[in-house]
Structure 1
């Protein structure tokens, strides 16, 4: 994941300075897509592992 982010950042910096070729634009788009898929998958996994526990309400009679 670190290498993926590093390459995305490298392409982003290059785009701001000299621009990207068509191949580099396609690579950047593909890398961003992979990053988002990975992020969503990890986030979904975290949400699936959350367990909600309700404590009994001591004020109820």
Structure 2
């Protein structure tokens, strides 16, 4: 996903390695080094997920049934600050 030149993508390699360590943990257990790696990868994943989710929310516009925009003011202000809105 993109927002004004900022890209937050969770790589396939990151997810693949997390899944690989999860399978190994179930099958035979992990070494201390692998446990640390898994913890770091999970933190990296969560950071990227949260950043992507935040970008989605900041791009959101909400409308009621009559077609009037009811986007929360906090979100509107973030959009204005980023140059995405000129009202």
Q: TM-score, normalised by structure 1?
A: 0.85
RMSD: 1.1
Instruction: Between 45-54 and 3-12, report the one with greater CA deviation.
Output: 45-54
Structure 1's unaligned 5+ residue stretches are: 57-61
Runs of 4+ in structure 1 off by over 3 angstroms are none
Higher relative contact order (CA 8 A, sep 6+): 1
Q: Which structure dedicates a bigger proportion of its chain to helix?
A: 1
Give the number of the structure whose residues are more often strand, by fraction.
Answer: 2
Aligned residues: 56
SS of match in other structure, 2:62: coil
* Local SS of the residue matching 2:40: helix
Instruction: State the Cα distance separating 1:53 from its structure 2 match.
Output: 3.4
Which position in structure 1 is the counterpart of 2:63? 53
Q: How far off is 1:51 after superposition?
A: 1.3
Structure 2 unaligned blocks of 5 or more? 1-10, 69-87
Alpha-carbon displacement from aligned partner over 1:16-59 (angstroms, at most 9, x marks no partner): 01100000000000000000000000000000000123425xxx
TM-score when normalising by structure 2: 0.61
**Rg (Cα) greater in structure:** 1
